[in-house]
Amino acid sequence: MSSIFPGQSPAFDAYVDPARPRAELWRTLLGLVLIVIGWIAMAAGLVMMARLGSRLLGTDDLVARMMTDADGPGVTAAFLASFLALTLSLMLVMRVLFRRSLLTLIAPSRRVNWGLYLKGVFFVAVFGLLTTGLASLADPPNQQMAFGRWLLWAPLGLLLLMLQTGTEELLFRGYFMQQLGARFRSPWLWWVLPSLLFGLLHWNPGTFGANAPLVVLAASVLGLILGDVTARTGSLSLAMGLHLANNLSAVLIVGMPSQISGMALFLADVDMSDTAAVRTGLLINLATILVAYGIYLMVMARRRT
């Protein structure tokens, strides 16, 4: 395999080993169905518990105001918090259907390598600050939230983004890559297919209109990159860090006007109904992702020499 198309390696073989005893395709598909059903059911249960708690605490009016502000931070926080239900559902399915711990999706060590995690965060953060800074000089974003108010929301936003990105990695680069990697040797199935599914999760014509396919393409490319680093390292840790930093920039720092931009300090000065302008921004984002990945590949190549 070429360096851009990952293949089976000792690190990847060790990573998928926990999935081998129960790698039947029917079990993998059934697990996906159960994960989705559990996600919906648990999300509904968590919403009911939150409503009951707000009534007991007498905060109904406050919660209602937060949730009816369509562009506010409360809506973004609620969306990110919904991934807790997905984590719980995935944990339950892994235990009952696959007879193994959720932690086996992370690495053979069953724990996050925080050194790799922080390297991923640092790499994307530095690269993102440079590109965002240059873009801001050309087209300054609009400040959406007072800095003091943003500081109050930012710690919660960071924790929720760690939850959201970590859960997505557990599902797409953990569950899918392990189950399919244990069953099939072709990267088209254990690397490309999960990345395409990850991209389709970002289908949102309501916000992006005619540019929705381009958003799916960019997310699929990101999925391929995250899958590649997972296959190379035999761990989700680096992918988790890269994913967190990528979303951190878009959700908490400079966001595009959407349903999940309520926590962003700044909003990009772009009219979402302007198809051409949005397409330009998305293409620049896609190019940035590819350049960052190219730098990563060069660094990896130098380490092997």
pLDDT digits (tens, 9 = 90+) for 130-163: 776 666 666 788 899 999 999 999 999 999 999 9
Is the pLDDT at 101 greater than 90? The verdict is: yes
Contact between 116 and 238 (Cβ < 8 Å): yes
Please report whether residue 1 resides in a domain.
no
- pTM of structure: 0.90
Please report whether residue 254 resides in a domain.
yes
In this structure, what token pair is assigned to residue 198? 């990850």
What's residue 167's pLDDT?
Answer: 97
Please report whether residue 151 resides in a domain.
yes
Please report whether residue 175 resides in a domain.
yes
Whole-number Å distance between alpha carbons of 231 and 186: 13
Contacts of 190 (CB under 8 A, 6+ apart): 16, 176, 177, 180, 181, 184
The mean pLDDT value for 15-40 works out to 96
Is the pLDDT at 212 greater than 80? The verdict is: yes
The mean pLDDT value for 229-250 works out to 94
What's residue 127's pLDDT?
Answer: 78
58: left (phi over 0), alpha (psi -120 to 50) or beta: left
Is the pLDDT at 91 greater than 70? The verdict is: yes
Contact between 99 and 5 (Cβ < 8 Å): no
Whole-number Å distance between alpha carbons of 224 and 190: 10
Contact between 231 and 237 (Cβ < 8 Å): no
Residue type, 54: S
What is the number of domains present in the chain? Answer: 1
Please report whether residue 2 resides in a domain.
no
Whole-number Å distance between alpha carbons of 32 and 144: 38
DSSP 144: -
Is the pLDDT at 62 greater than 60? The verdict is: no
Please report whether residue 274 resides in a domain.
yes
User: Which residue range is the domain that position 141 belongs to?
Assistant: 10-304
Mean pLDDT of the chain: 87
Helix (H, G, I), strand (E, B) or coil at 266: strand
